[in-house]
Structure 1
Amino acid sequence: MSEVRVALVGIDGVGKTTVLHRLRERDDIAVVHAVRGHEDPNDPSADLSAALAGASSAADDLGRVQLKVAVLYLQLCLFGPAERQAARRRPTLLTDRHPLVDPLVYLPMFASLARDAEPGGDVEAWWHKQEPGEANAVRDWLRAAGGTADPWELGTEVLRWGTLPSHELLGRLGRSFGVTLPEGVVLLDLPVTQALRRTRERARDSELHETRAFLSATRQRYVAVLDRLAQTRTELSVRRVDCADRSVDEVGAHVLDALDTIARTRK
């Protein structure tokens, strides 16, 4: 196993993926993407991860949070094997998000948005928006990992988890994904106005939750969730990096400093 496992978290647009691309060049750091595993050429399920990214985009197009959350669950189910494989390659494992941290932030917020109980024709439309071959892969993984052929059923159930007390939600996530908390979490922090500008400059379409109000609420929840984890899980080291008006190299240097600090606290 890796000497230390650290999750890099923060609102969309803060620069997690860009920083991780830079740090992946180091010989002592292995990188795992919790949601977009196909961005790592060594990921054991890259093709399935790419298919799930397409399914996530289709959910964004339809604006149905139940479908978005169902795909998120299926994506996070891929994390455990990827983490175990990467942990054998390098002494430090750095992850883009984490299946036991980010859902504590997002699931309660998504649950508050899920007002429509019936899918209407959106499930069928969601399947049709995906490439046929990728849809078949998603359908097989839905049955294998989600235990159902109905994505709406899965999304509705996972959204229900968002109403649980945080300690119960954490336990449910750990059992579902078969992973444990990392040794450390580094929060990349950026003003919402800057993060929103970055998300709108991306080549891909914006995601369902990339709005000023949602990003502002998410930023506040990251702080609250990490404060709570630091208080209740004293073995977890939490660090914050201010990314405002800093270059990728500057942010990367601060992340490396945080990794060193986290590693020292474990000795």
Structure 2
Amino acid sequence: MSDVRVALVGIDGVGKTTVLHRLRERDDIAVVHAVRGHEDPDSPFPELSAALAEASSAADALGRVQLKVAVLCLQLCLFGPAERRAAGRSPTLLADRHPLVDPLVYLPMFASVARDAGPGGDVEAWWHKQEPGAARAVGDWLRRCAGTSDPWELGTEVLRWGTLPPHEMLDVLGRTFGVTLPDGVLLLDLPVDQALRRTRERARGSELHETRAFLTATRQRYGEVLDRLARSRPELAVRRVDCADRSVDEVTALVRSAVAGIGNGTVPTG
């Protein structure tokens, strides 16, 4: 199998991180986490990624979409360096989400529910909810990536991307994050009720978008976005893995087979 880059995507709770952990342990596969990079033991930016995760939780607590997507942008800015570093470890690289795929799903949805009202005192409250050292790291990264010290300004701009036509949004994302589409995308698909049950069993609290209505809409959006990408980018292999009522070992085996098929240029069977 030649060098291959594949992104695993799907709604929260579908099991992406768990499956990737199994594959990293058992196979010669490098893994990059697009949003929670510190969950990769080989991450080049573990402290910054952990600080951004704290900032994301603070945005969830305040319920402000502008702050949530600002942090998401800052998290995705870590992906390119992490991907390039991981590519040297293995001929097979898997990503937990991807900065050119998942924003096509989420940003239009976030843009549709964002309020036009100003931040009020929420930006200041957001900074105060973070540990001081972590807040300084987030602030430095914000200025480096966005050229501003105002997360609300960045969040407003990112939400604007969500109103662009898909091909324009893809171009903006590619320029912003300095990455290209992977060779393949695997959609791990799971009924919303099962996904919700899994998210509620997590040790960390629920996120701003982990509701039945939002997950249902997101599941539909993944199908629409990947169908459109498959039509417009025929070189991109798009596969669906049905995870309903399947064990982690069963899903891992299906993912392993699909990745091998993408690497060999074939469609897996079974």
Q: Cα offset for 1:146?
A: 1.4
CA distance in 1, matches of 2:7, 2:105: 14
Secondary structure at the counterpart of residue 25 of structure 1 = helix
CA distance in 1, matches of 2:136, 2:117: 26
Shifted more, 26-35 versus 103-112: the winner is 26-35
Aligned to 1:39: 39
Aligned to 1:229: 229
Secondary structure at the counterpart of residue 57 of structure 2 = helix
Q: Cα offset for 1:209?
A: 0.2
Secondary structure at the counterpart of residue 246 of structure 1 = coil
Q: Cα offset for 1:264?
A: 1.4
Q: Kindly indicate whether the alpha-carbon contact (under 8 Å) linking 1:27 and 1:90 is maintained by their aligned counterparts in 2.
A: no
Aligned to 2:48: 48
Alignment of 1:59 with 2:35, yes or no, is no
Aligned to 1:4: 4
Aligned to 1:18: 18
Cα deviations across residues 113-153 of structure 1 (Å, max 9, x unaligned)? 11133000000000000000000000000000111000000
- Which amino acid is 2:207 matched to? E
CA distance in 2, matches of 1:132, 1:253: 43
CA distance in 1, matches of 2:226, 2:128: 39
CA distance in 2, matches of 1:160, 1:105: 14
Alignment of 1:141 with 2:141, yes or no, is yes
Q: Cα offset for 1:26?
A: 3.1
Secondary structure at the counterpart of residue 85 of structure 1 = helix
- Matched residue pairs, number? 265
Percent identical across equivalent pairs? 82
Aligned to 2:127: 127
Secondary structure at the counterpart of residue 7 of structure 1 = strand
Aligned to 2:175: 175
Q: Cα offset for 1:27?
A: 4.2
CA distance in 1, matches of 2:129, 2:195: 28
Aligned to 1:189: 189
- Which amino acid is 2:205 matched to? D
CA distance in 2, matches of 1:153, 1:194: 36
- Which amino acid is 2:171 matched to? G
TM superposition score normalised by structure 2: 0.97
Q: Kindly indicate whether the alpha-carbon contact (under 8 Å) linking 1:29 and 1:91 is maintained by their aligned counterparts in 2.
A: yes
- Spell out structure 1 runs of 4+ moving beyond 6 A: none
TM superposition score normalised by structure 1: 0.98
Aligned to 1:253: 253
- Which amino acid is 1:26 matched to? R
1:194-205 mapped onto 2 (5 Å cutoff):
194-205=194-205
CA distance in 2, matches of 1:9, 1:153: 28
Cα deviations across residues 96-128 of structure 1 (Å, max 9, x unaligned)? 000000000000000011113300000000000
CA distance in 1, matches of 2:216, 2:147: 34
Unpaired runs of 5+ residues, structure 1, are none
CA distance in 2, matches of 1:216, 1:129: 30
Aligned to 1:96: 96
- Which amino acid is 1:169 matched to? M
Q: Cα offset for 1:166?
A: 0.1
Q: Kindly indicate whether the alpha-carbon contact (under 8 Å) linking 1:7 and 1:184 is maintained by their aligned counterparts in 2.
A: yes
Unpaired runs of 5+ residues, structure 2, are none
Cα deviations across residues 31-62 of structure 1 (Å, max 9, x unaligned)? 00000000011100111000000000000000
Aligned to 2:77: 77
- Which amino acid is 1:247 matched to? S
CA distance in 1, matches of 2:19, 2:28: 15
CA distance in 2, matches of 1:167, 1:151: 26
Shifted more, 18-27 versus 65-74: the winner is 18-27
Alignment of 1:240 with 2:233, yes or no, is no
